[in-house]
Chains A and B, each alone.
Chain A
Amino acid sequence: MDRREQIDEFESMFRRSEREPFVFADLPIRSVAVVTGDESNESVQAALKRFLPRIGDVVDWRAIGSDDYSSVAELLERIGSDPVDLLVTRRHLQEEFLSPQHSLGVYLDELTQRTLVPVLVLPGTAGTPVPLPTEPCRRVMVVADHISGDHRLINYGVRMCSEGGSVWLCHIEDDDVFRRYVSAIERIPEIATEPAEELLSSQLLKEAGDFIESCFQTLKETGPDVVLESEVGMGHHLTEYRRLIDEHTIGLLVANTKDDGQMAMHGMAYSLSVELTDVPMLLL
């Protein structure tokens, strides 16, 4: 082993010992804006209070109906001029006549990307709304393709869960992407494929596992009364998340949508929110 390799080995060892400790924050949700089309705002508010009891301390409910805006710019200006802590809306707002199936609709798309406010997407679409469950949400699933260090995502997941409920922290490494790298390694004679594959896979999952472990510790000491569960593994994002939602009867999905490198929504979040229309989602 030459000197450069030795330096690299020790650097890796020290980087491996770096931990990202989870920082719990009880996020304030005091004002909520419910953005609807023709749907009754009051009934949505009532359903929300039942479904998410921990937002019961909201003192400022704002109703934004179809008469209050006629374009995306108008809606964004209205929200921007009087900020709230949470937006609630549905897919395909004002697009009922288009009967779209493979998109979120322009309003939801823009709301998630042009504001920093979390958006709670109600199940179904504006044209064919699906009512929220009448029972309080006791199972929240937080999904990410890189969960380590995502404090905000987890804190929102915890914030939305009813007292005594469960929050599932899930990290699925996309095995298609992983296979692609392994097939590249297979073509490099200087790298032994089998150990490289094993080490890479275990390191990717270990980072997520370590961070989730830190969440367990922190929430146990300082967090609210929720039970944390975790699922860390490899697979196809959509297939795995759909399986987990069904398996654990998840009531609310929490995901990131922003991507620093692009204006459009984060790839995984987009596919989840387009395909899983029957599950309420909190998009950050």
Chain B
Amino acid sequence: MASMSGLLLATTEAVHAVPAGVTALFAILLVAMIAALALEETIHAKKSAIVGVFAGACLVLATVLDLLPFGDVTLPGGHTVKMPVYIPAIDWGVITIILGASLFVEVTSRSGVFTWMAITLTKKSGGDPWKLLLSYGILTVVFSAMLNNVTAMIIIGSLTGVSLTKLQRTDLLLGFLVVEGLLTNVGGLLTLISSVPNIIVGGIAGIGFVQFFLVAVPYVVFATAATLLMGRWRFGIRGLSDEQEKLAAASMVSAFDENESVPSSRFFWFSIAVLVLFVACLAGQSLLPAGLDKLGMGFVALTFAGIVLMAYKHEVDKFYEAVDWDLLAFFAGLFVVINTMEHAQVLAMIGQGIKLVIGLGPNLGAGLLLVASAIASSVTDNIPLAAMLAKILENDPANYAAMAPYWWSVIFGANLGGNITPIGSASTVVAMTIIHKHKLPLTFVGFVKIAALFALVQIIIAVVYVVILSLSGILVV
């Protein structure tokens, strides 16, 4: 990550005096791109296509207006290489983490380890609705942290539909799916690689994997418990009290065979071992010997993807096909857009506005930044928001050290804002897809009416938590 920042600096050192009109023009382009991303479903265009168009337009405009510093890129050691101006604009550290992690997850999920865990917990719940909600809720958080929030929602949401149908409790399906959707974004806060905003902000801020986990875990535990209890209250999900009902429910869920989706017990155990090792390597990445730590987390992710791919070496192309290329192309385009916005002084302009908020002090300022980030990411993609805010904070390193509360305001806000509306995050979109697949009547407004209270409580807890960490000196400006 550090070397990429070095590359990035090589292209951004020269700061031009940019006319206000040009900055305003680029700011309009930025707003238009964010609006287009928010209307992704309506305009029937993939994220990468939308951002690609804007990245191209920004590059052309910035070149014509002479905003970009063309020239050779200086590498460590003084060597220079010729490289198109948009290549070093991309944060390849982030791209390699996402590529490596998604390939790793894709292969290990073939071992059936995640479905095995989900079915085992279903059986352990005995079919009791409240125990089932607790199991699925905790599993959603864990899967969101280990995999990503979309895959977590797909796995747990699918199993919820099947198991509640089996238990003849489809009346509870809506409540389960909404709670699970809301917990994906809480789980996405658990580790540095659990969500893209974490990867971007944590990478730029220089927050380590363990450091991130230690700060995030108390909040995740508390917010998960609060969400589950609210879900119990809001949707009337109660445990079974009648012995006959308990026996019948236990008998129904005992019919699931957790080993069905395990194609090979050897690969199953191999996947568990590699998964543990992967997490251990990420956690200890900064302690890797012989300078290996300099290769970064992206290298760790790609290495582990390579190791597990060896199990399917004759069909690796299938896994390459499964990679979300739209997401990766979206990031590449987004980094190019943000880089041109930086040269057009748009980020500096927004930074001035943010300084006003932050100027209110580490407590009120951090709290307001968190709420503002949450509101902004509820109506549009949280990735551009996180990338932009992180870039703005990065440009003022004197004020924003690695453990400054503002980074955490952006991380919490960008993740939790996704819970306010059904389009706020990719996992709530998946939750809505499953809800509609089961023909449950829930509109956009209906979702907001239900989810707003949950999101409000989660955001209040986050604000209080960040303030407590600031007051206790764990987070410092």
CA distance A21 to B252 in the complex (A): 9
B258 interface residue (CB < 8 Å to A) = yes
A14 interface residue (CB < 8 Å to B) = yes
Residues of chain A contacted by B261 (CB below 8 angstroms): 13, 16-17
Whether B158 pairs with A7 at a CB distance below 8 angstroms is yes
Whether A4 pairs with B162 at a CB distance below 8 angstroms is no
Whether B255 pairs with A14 at a CB distance below 8 angstroms is no
A186 interface residue (CB < 8 Å to B) = no
A180 interface residue (CB < 8 Å to B) = no
Residues of chain B contacted by A97 (CB below 8 angstroms): none
| B260 interface neighbour in A7, A10, A11, A16, Cβ under 8 Å | A16
Instruction: Give chain B interface residues in 360-407, CB to chain A under 8 Å.
Output: none
Would you give the 0/1 interface string for B220-256, flagging 1 where the beta carbon is closer than 8 Å to chain A?
0000000000000000000000000000000000111
Would you give the 0/1 interface string for A1-33, flagging 1 where the beta carbon is closer than 8 Å to chain B?
101101100110111111111000000000000
CA distance A11 to B164 in the complex (A): 12
B322 interface residue (CB < 8 Å to A) = yes
| A7 interface neighbour in B115, B256, B322, B437, Cβ under 8 Å | B437
Residue on B nearest A2 in the bound complex, by CB: B433
| A21 interface neighbour in B155, B162, B255, B258, Cβ under 8 Å | B255
Whether B430 pairs with A18 at a CB distance below 8 angstroms is no
B434 interface residue (CB < 8 Å to A) = yes
Whether A14 pairs with B433 at a CB distance below 8 angstroms is no
Residue on B nearest A15 in the bound complex, by CB: B162
| B258 interface neighbour in A7, A11, A17, Cβ under 8 Å | A17
Residues of chain A contacted by B437 (CB below 8 angstroms): 4, 7
Whether A17 pairs with B155 at a CB distance below 8 angstroms is no
B29 interface residue (CB < 8 Å to A) = no
B4 interface residue (CB < 8 Å to A) = no
CA distance A9 to B102 in the complex (A): 18
CA distance A36 to B429 in the complex (A): 68
Whether A14 pairs with B430 at a CB distance below 8 angstroms is no
B159 interface residue (CB < 8 Å to A) = yes
B157 interface residue (CB < 8 Å to A) = yes
Determine the interface band of chain A, counting residues with CB < 8 A from chain B. 10 to 19
B119 interface residue (CB < 8 Å to A) = yes
Residues of chain A contacted by B255 (CB below 8 angstroms): 18-21
Q: Measured between C-beta atoms, what is the minimum distance from B117 to chain A in Å?
A: 13
Whether A14 pairs with B154 at a CB distance below 8 angstroms is no
Contacts A11-B162, A18-B166; A6 near B256 (Cβ below 8 A)? no
Residues of chain B contacted by A7 (CB below 8 angstroms): 154, 157-158, 430, 433-434, 437
B257 interface residue (CB < 8 Å to A) = yes
B52 interface residue (CB < 8 Å to A) = no
Whether A19 pairs with B155 at a CB distance below 8 angstroms is no
Instruction: Give chain B interface residues in 81-138, CB to chain A under 8 Å.
Output: 115, 118-119
CB-based A-B contact count at 8 angstroms: 57
Contacts A4-B437, A7-B158, A10-B158; A17 near B322 (Cβ below 8 A)? no
Instruction: Give chain B interface residues in 159-174, CB to chain A under 8 Å.
Output: 159, 161-163, 166
| B159 interface neighbour in A3, A14, A16, A20, Cβ under 8 Å | A14
CA distance A20 to B254 in the complex (A): 9
| A10 interface neighbour in B155, B163, B429, B433, Cβ under 8 Å | B155
Q: Measured between C-beta atoms, what is the minimum distance from B318 to chain A in Å?
A: 11
Whether A1 pairs with B322 at a CB distance below 8 angstroms is yes
Most A CB atoms within 10 A — which of B157, B158, B166, B322?
A: B158
Whether A13 pairs with B115 at a CB distance below 8 angstroms is yes
Whether B256 pairs with A17 at a CB distance below 8 angstroms is yes
CA distance A19 to B257 in the complex (A): 7
Contacts A11-B161, A11-B162; A6 near B154 (Cβ below 8 A)? yes
Residue on A nearest B115 in the bound complex, by CB: A13
Residues of chain A contacted by B433 (CB below 8 angstroms): 3-4, 7
Q: Measured between C-beta atoms, what is the minimum distance from A250 to chain B in Å?
A: 31
CA distance A13 to B434 in the complex (A): 16
Contacts A1-B322, A10-B115; A17 near B157 (Cβ below 8 A)? no
Residues of chain A contacted by B429 (CB below 8 angstroms): 3
Residues of chain A contacted by B258 (CB below 8 angstroms): 17
Residues of chain B contacted by A17 (CB below 8 angstroms): 115, 119, 256-258, 260-261
Whether A10 pairs with B154 at a CB distance below 8 angstroms is yes
CA distance A1 to B154 in the complex (A): 13
Whether B162 pairs with A3 at a CB distance below 8 angstroms is no
Residues of chain B contacted by A11 (CB below 8 angstroms): 158, 161-162
CA distance A16 to B255 in the complex (A): 11
5 more A-B residue pairs beyond the given contacts A3-B154, A7-B433, A10-B154, with a C-beta to C-beta distance below 8 A: A7-B157, A14-B162, A17-B258, A17-B260, A18-B255
The 6 closest A-B CB pairs, nearest first, are: A17-B260, A10-B158, A14-B162, A11-B158, A19-B255, A17-B257
A residues touching B (Cβ–Cβ < 8 Å)? 1, 3-4, 6-7, 10-11, 13-21
B residues touching A (Cβ–Cβ < 8 Å)? 115, 118-119, 150, 154-155, 157-159, 161-163, 166, 254-258, 260-261, 322, 429-430, 433-434, 437
A-B contact pairs, 21 of them (CB 8 A): A1-B322, A4-B433, A7-B154, A7-B158, A7-B433, A7-B437, A10-B154, A10-B155, A13-B115, A13-B158, A13-B260, A13-B261, A14-B162, A14-B256, A15-B162, A16-B261, A17-B258, A18-B162, A18-B257, A19-B255, A19-B257
